[in-house]
Amino acid sequence: MTVKRETFGSQLAAVAAMASSAIGLGNIWRFPYMAGQYGGAAFIIIYILCSFFLALPIMLSEMVIGRSAHLGTFGAMEKLAPGTKWKWMGLLTVVTPLIIASFYSVVGGWSIGYLWKSLTLSFSASSLEDSTLVFATFSSSVWGPLICFVLFLAINCIIVLAGVRKGIEKFSNFTMYFLFALIVVIMLYSLSLDGSKAGVDYLVKPDFHNLTPKVFSSAMGQSFFSLSLGVGTILTYSSYAHDEGKLVSIAAGTAGFDLIFAVIAGFAIMPAVFAAGISPGQGPGLIFSTLPYIFAKMGLTSPWISALVSILFFLMILVAAVSSCISMIEVGVAYLIEQHGFTRRGAVLLLFFGMLGLGALCSLSFGPLADVHIFGVSIFSFCDMLTSNYLMTFGGLLFVIFAGWKMDKEEVRRQLTNGASGTFASRIFGFEYFLIRYVSPLVIFAIFLTNLAS
Ligand code: TRP
């Protein structure tokens, strides 16, 4: 059976799609609060090291596997290692992104709710307690978050339904530039606030006194999450890349944009947090419970600017979240189309209902289902922990092992060098291959064990 496979239009389009997948809630919502909780500049330095030495090799491995086979995770594993158990890993990476997509869509839904609140000027956040209460009341109610969640999921499914080139590529090409423009505007505004300097210092002056193993495992988890690694997203997108595209450039472009965006997001959020006199270590509620207060405080002097900044901010979160969430859904769609002969529409519909069920449980776990605990945590936190701490790390580990030890070395070389054979190309390849084969798996394994033990 040969089905004509979809492709991205160009190398730049592939970078835009992957960077849009990478840039998301991970950069705007997760990165600033993680940096806030784990020591500011020191965390950022470790994060950069993890991105380069641990995450980049996984990204290259996923790219090599995906483009070599031109198939989604399950199909790629079966094609490159026929008759082995590796293909079951394909299945694992189909299930993982769907779990992520379910809880991710709940947060995506919150951004719709907050965008609506900003548009209707209905924030009442005269104090920090007030805005924390607004968030707690909103997230724990039944219908508001549920409706926003379904809306968010529907937007994603419509884009994925339109296909790789007409849906994903078009949307990603637009969002990349839109997101960068918005975050820079918000950063400039935030830096202009009185008292913002303390926030800048926090992000640039490292303090290595509180370095614990937890900081390392969190930095690694964050770099995997932010680059969409370990679940086959990058693998699937790479399977749509042309054979002439340079994988190393695509990977460097994606990781570079993602990192720059995360750092700018840090500089957009932390100075505002410090200017308002809020502690940076707030945790996950940082942007939803503290930023509306900051926006409202600005409103005392200029209500229109405050409303505008708040609308732009939540719009940006929404767009960033959508362009990431579609990349998770596409992994499952590719699997159903390739392995079970589904049409794109049938595949999207099936996944929509699956995510609807799991996501609704995650959404309700902030309200009526708050008492339902799995391994001591709420359904939402369980899905987050299970995927971020275990499944993604495990998936990433298996990808580097597959590319480094199972695949034919010459095929890996061909993919990474596009057949170039100069000394420079082979030196770079030698270094990348060393990272893929030894450094990345050993360090990830060590951190994985620490995670299991703690
Ligand atoms: N990288 C995205 C972000 O930073 C989230 C994301 C998209 C993701 N696809 C993924 C995370 C696959 C894990 C796996 O928000």
Atom of ligand 1 nearest to the CA of 321: 15
For 10, the enclosing helix (H) or strand (E) is none
Q: Which of 159, 163, 97 is nearest to 332 (CA)?
A: 97
Question: What span, in angstroms and rounded, lies between the C-alpha atoms of 230 and 212?
Answer: 24
Look at residue 40 and tell me if it is in a domain. Answer: yes
Residue 227 in domain: yes
What is the structure's pLDDT at 2?
44
Q: Which ligand 1 atom sits nearest the alpha carbon of residue 328? A: 9
Q: Supply 14's token pair.
A: 């592939």
For residue 1, being part of any structural domain is answered with no
Nearest CA to 248 out of 72, 407, 61, 402 is that of 61
Q: What lines the ligand 1 site, CB under 6 Å?
A: 21-22, 24-27, 97, 100, 225-226, 228, 231, 233, 324, 327-328, 392
Ligand 1, atom 13: nearest CA belongs to which residue? 228
Is 3 within the bounds of a domain? no
Domain span at residue 30 reads 11-453
Examine residue 134 and state whether it is found in any structural domain, yes or no. Answer: yes
Would residue 4 count as lying in a domain? no
**107 pLDDT more than 50:** yes
pLDDT, tens digit, for every residue of 358-406? 999 999 999 999 999 999 889 998 998 889 878 999 999 999 999 999 9
Number of domains comprising the chain = 1
Mean pLDDT over 266-278 rounds to 86
Is residue 412 included in any domain, yes or no? yes
Q: What is the CATH number of the domain that holds 139?
A: 1.20.1740.10
- 122 or 182, which is more confident: 182
What is the per-residue pLDDT across 190-235, written as a single tens digit (0 to 9) for each?
Answer: 898 888 899 999 899 888 887 888 888 889 889 999 999 999 999 9
Could you read off the pLDDT of 32-47 as tens digits, one per residue?
A: 888 888 888 999 999 9
How far, in Å, from the CA of 53 to the mean position of ligand 1? 19
Task: Decide if pLDDT at 118 tops 80.
Answer: yes
Tell me, yes or no, whether 2 lies in a domain.
no
pLDDT in tens, 374-384: 998 899 989 98
CA dist., res. 193 & res. 298, Å (int) = 9
For residue 324, the CA-to-ligand 1 centroid distance in Å is 6
